[in-house]
């Protein structure tokens, strides 16, 4: 009996170890699920982010086709990293709308010239007020919005190549 008690610390430790190992092996478990999923987009109407393209309003998301809403900024470094993936999504047939956070028209034009322009409309959010209303805490973030203007999915951080099929699947689901 006493001998068994002596082994209990080791057993308890091994149990902890298993929890650690499971925790560390599950990087996808670290995704923070959004509180905004299933909610309608807040009502907004943003000025155009640059002269060449129209601005963005919540009404644009009610035309029956699901779209991606990309929150970006020309000053944001990970946004550069995700630019090729956005182009890929566009080529796969996704409609991508954009909100430019705390940005200037000439910087946006520059940025899109350099890294490609996947966007249909670009709204300018100079005070981050829409960003906050969307429950987005940083740039870049990407939302999947269904044809009725409801948020279906939120992707936090830059879109990596492996996220492209995920987002396309989410778009398909939102149909």
Partner 1 sequence: MIAEAGLAALWLAAALAALQLVLGAVGIREARQDMLAAVRPVAVVQALLTLLAFALLIVLFLRVDLSVALVAANDHSAKPWLYRFAGAWGNHEGSMLMWVTILAVAGAAVALLERRLEQRTLIATLAAQAAIGLGFYAFLLFASNPFERLDPAPPEGQGLNPLLQDPGLAFHPPTLYIGYVGLSVAFSFAVGALVARDVGSAFARAMRPWVLAAWIMLTLGITAGSYWAYYELGWGGWWFWDPVENASLMPWLAATALLHSVTVLATRDGLRAWTVMLAVVAFSMSMVGTFLVRSGILTSVHAFAVDPRRGSFILALLAIYIGGALALFAARVGTVREGSRFDPVSREGALVINNLLLTAILGIVLVGTLYPLMAESLSGEKLSVGAPYFNAAAGPLALILMATMAIGPLLRWRRDELRTLASRIVLPLLLTGLALFAVMQLAPGIPILPLLGLTFAAGVAAASIAPLWKRNLRRTPLFTWGMVLAHLGVAVSVAGMASESAFTKEHLIAAKVGETTRIGPYSLRFDAVEPITGPNWTAIEGTVTATRGNALFRLNPQVRTFWSPPTETNEAAIRTVFDGQLYVVLGRSDDQGRWQLRMWWKPFVTLIWAGGAMIALGGALALLGRLRRERRAVERETWA
Bridge-based pairing state of the strands 141-145 and 151-156: antiparallel
The whole-angstrom separation of Cα 128 and Cα 5 is: 59
**According to the binding rule CB under 8 A, does residue 14 interact with partner 1?**
yes
Helix H segments across 25-158? 77-91, 105-115, 129-133
Q: Which stretch binds partner 1 (CB under 8 A): 7-15, 50-58, 66-74, 134-142?
A: 7-15
Interacting positions 78-97 with partner 1 (CB under 8 A): none
**According to the binding rule CB under 8 A, does residue 25 interact with partner 1?**
yes
Least separation in angstroms between residue 19's CB and partner 1 is 5
Token digits for 75? 């000053």
Least separation in angstroms between residue 164's CB and partner 1 is 22
Q: Which stretch binds partner 1 (CB under 8 A): 6-14, 130-138, 146-154, 155-163?
A: 6-14
**According to the binding rule CB under 8 A, does residue 19 interact with partner 1?**
yes
Who's near 40: CB < 8 A, 6+ residues apart?
A: 148, 149, 150, 151
CA angle at residue 77 from 107 to 73, to 5 degrees?
40
Instruction: Return the CA Rg of the chain.
Output: 21
Nearer Cβ to partner 1 (19/51): 19
Q: Which residues pair with 70 in a beta bridge?
A: 98, 142
**According to the binding rule CB under 8 A, does residue 1 interact with partner 1?**
no
Least separation in angstroms between residue 39's CB and partner 1 is 19
- Total residues interacting with partner 1, rule: CB under 8 A: 22
Instruction: Pick from 33, 91, 113, 175 the residue near partner 1 by CB under 8 A.
Output: 33
Bridge-based pairing state of the strands 67-72 and 141-145: antiparallel
Q: How many CB atoms lie within 10 A of CB 109?
A: 17
- Site for partner 1, rule CB under 8 A: 2-3, 6-7, 9-10, 13-14, 16-17, 19-27, 29, 32-33
């Amino acid at each position: 009996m006493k001998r068994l008690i002596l082994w209990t610390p080791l057993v308890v430790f091994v149990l902890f170890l298993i929890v650690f190992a499971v925790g560390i092996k599950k990087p996808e478990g670290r995704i923070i699920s959004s509180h905004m999923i299933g909610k309608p987009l807040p009502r907004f109407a943003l000025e155009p982010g640059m002269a060449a393209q129209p601005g963005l309003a919540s009404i644009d998301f009610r035309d029956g086709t699901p779209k991606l809403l990309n929150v970006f900024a020309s000053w944001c470094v990970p946004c550069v990293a995700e630019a090729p993936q956005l182009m890929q999504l566009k080529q796969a047939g996704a409609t991508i709308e954009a909100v430019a956070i705390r940005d200037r028209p000439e910087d946006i034009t520059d940025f899109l010239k350099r890294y490609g322009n996947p966007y249909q409309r670009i709204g300018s959010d100079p005070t981050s007020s829409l960003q906050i209303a969307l429950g987005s805490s940083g740039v870049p973030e990407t939302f999947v919005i269904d044809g009725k203007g409801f948020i279906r999915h939120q992707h936090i951080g830059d879109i990596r190549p492996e996220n492209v099929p995920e987002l396309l699947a989410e778009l398909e689901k939102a149909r």
